[in-house]
Amino acid sequence: MALPNQGDPAPWGTDLRNYILAIEAAKANKPLVGSKTGDQSNATSTLADVTSLGLSLAATSTYDFDFYLPYTGDTNSNAPVTLSLSGPTNTFLGYFIYVQSSASAKTEVTRTAFASSFTGAAVTTAGTIYVARMFGRVTTNASGTLVPQFAGDGTHTNVIKAGAWSSARLVV
């Protein structure tokens, strides 16, 4: 009497073997993540990297990324936040910037290049936490760090709040 699947490198069957290989591949594709544990202020009109949120990307790879940026402004009807994204050289880049400025107002734009900043509307209420978000896809041709940047208007202070986070997942 012959054993089932005799000669098969996985005697328990190829379905189970493929399942195990898929699980191992998923484990290897853990997302890159970052998070802020403290607030970061910027009172200038010069873009500054949002610390702790940079993601190290490999060369010749495609990633889906997401940056969640809760922020405040210091003055009612003033203190617009400017957002940008910095990263490695690439063959493809497409992303959205979403900026909330009141309980019911938001602005969305699309970008296809790094250092293509966007200034949202001024915050409605000083000290109120609003949300900004940048998400999209990049295909790198060199390794480097993908990092969001922010600035104020040179007169008012914007603050990226603790709890901001970043993630990127390699597209396989």
pLDDT exceeds cutoff 60 at 5: no
Higher local confidence (pLDDT), 110 or 22: 110
Give the Cα separation of 76 and 10 in Å (integer).
67
- The mean per-residue pLDDT over the stretch 18-24 comes to 64
- pTM of the shown model: 0.82
Cβ(147)–Cβ(54) below 8 Å: yes
DSSP helix/strand/coil, 16:
helix
pLDDT exceeds cutoff 80 at 68: yes
Percent of the chain beyond pLDDT 70?
A: 83
- The mean per-residue pLDDT over the stretch 69-98 comes to 91
For the domain 31-170, what is the CATH code? 2.60.120
Closest residue by Cα to residue 85 from 102, 105, 69: 69
Higher local confidence (pLDDT), 57 or 27: 57
Q: How many Cβ atoms sit within 10 Å of the Cβ of residue 159?
A: 21
The pLDDT assigned to 3 comes to: 46
pLDDT in tens, 101-142: 888 888 999 999 999 999 988 888 888 899 999 999 999 999
